[in-house]
Amino acid sequence: MAEARPAPEETPTLPTDDPPLSDVLSAYRTMVVARVMDERCLTLQRQGRIGFYVPMQGQEAAQVACGWALNDEDWIFPAYREMGIALTRGVPVQLLINQFYGNSGDETKGRQMPNHYGFRRFRFVTASSPVGTQISHAVGAAMAARAHKDPIVTVSFFGDGTTSSNDFHAGLNFAGVFQAPTIFFCQNNQWAISLPREKQTRSATLAEKALAYGFPGVVVDGMDFRAVYRAVAEARARAISGGGPTLIEAQVYRLGPHSTSDDPRRYRSDAELAEWKEKDPVARLKHELRASEALTEENDQAIWDAAKQEVARAVEAAEKLPPVDPLTLFDDVYATRTPALERQRGELARELAAGGSTP
């Protein structure tokens, strides 16, 4: 089972220590669950059992390490590839699988595309397809938290392609001017769908773009769990102490397609993919844990077996749940349904009871 990390203690100083091995082992388990889910969901889409999926293979360490360095009270503003951070926040596998299926167990009631999940109680804002929109939202939420004297940060996730969007520049400029306690977490996975990193910008790094807005930009090896953890922990400590935002560029690689609507073989070489697979973050952390004798091959196999069983059970349960009740169409529009909505809901209920169908 994916394990949510404990909330670190508040500290005004910049943390320099790595998390203890027991925490890293727990994080590794979460990375394994993310990898197993990722592979299974891609298969489910190819089988026609779910409609759409956005893989995140290769980005597990960046996301899980980031989540591990945060506090439970911090708010997450994801893009659409952040399953690893969702698991780290404690979102159950079953809830994620239900959302991919859009069944009656989907807490968004079938109103969002697959992979566009959100969970208020986990402080995980619903994702949106347009790139960059979450950046300004994260900055606004951070400013609101500061006004309420809430000692939290907001974290906005996005990819390398988003750094060319209007929202990126507007959001970072505002954050820099007002010293918003926001962490901008760019997962530079080298491809904005089919556009390579070298055609995205002439900047030597994406992180250096932060300098134009008056705050630090940090480049980190996103395949290295500990390196990402340290970068996020330091950025969070700066923000909490009033030091303002940080842009973190986690250099990772998208080992799979951009989405299940994409064929990466049309624009990238097998040689490039093979080179990056040698840096697989899950295998890398396993090797480090084995070298430190915190993990044995037997224990590792048990972790993988448990993850596969958990995901298999979630898929089986999801496929037994009925579709979303059509009457939920009238939920959540207003805090209290208006008389007009009540009438419309009653009409639909009577039609359904009489054997009618919805479009």
Strand 246-251 relative to strand 217-221: parallel, antiparallel, unpaired?
Answer: parallel
Count how many residues are written for the chain: 359
State residue 246 phi and psi, 5-degree precision: -140, 140
Q: CB–CB of 329/348 below 8 Å?
A: yes
Pure H helices in the chain: 21-46, 60-68, 83-88, 93-101, 133-147, 166-178, 225-240, 270-277, 281-291, 297-320, 339-353
CB atoms within 10 A of CB 226: 15
Strand 75-77 relative to strand 195-196: parallel, antiparallel, unpaired?
Answer: unpaired
- C-alpha pair distances (Å), 250 with each of 204, 224, 297, 315: 14, 9, 29, 31
Catalytic residues, by residue number, are 254, 258, 267
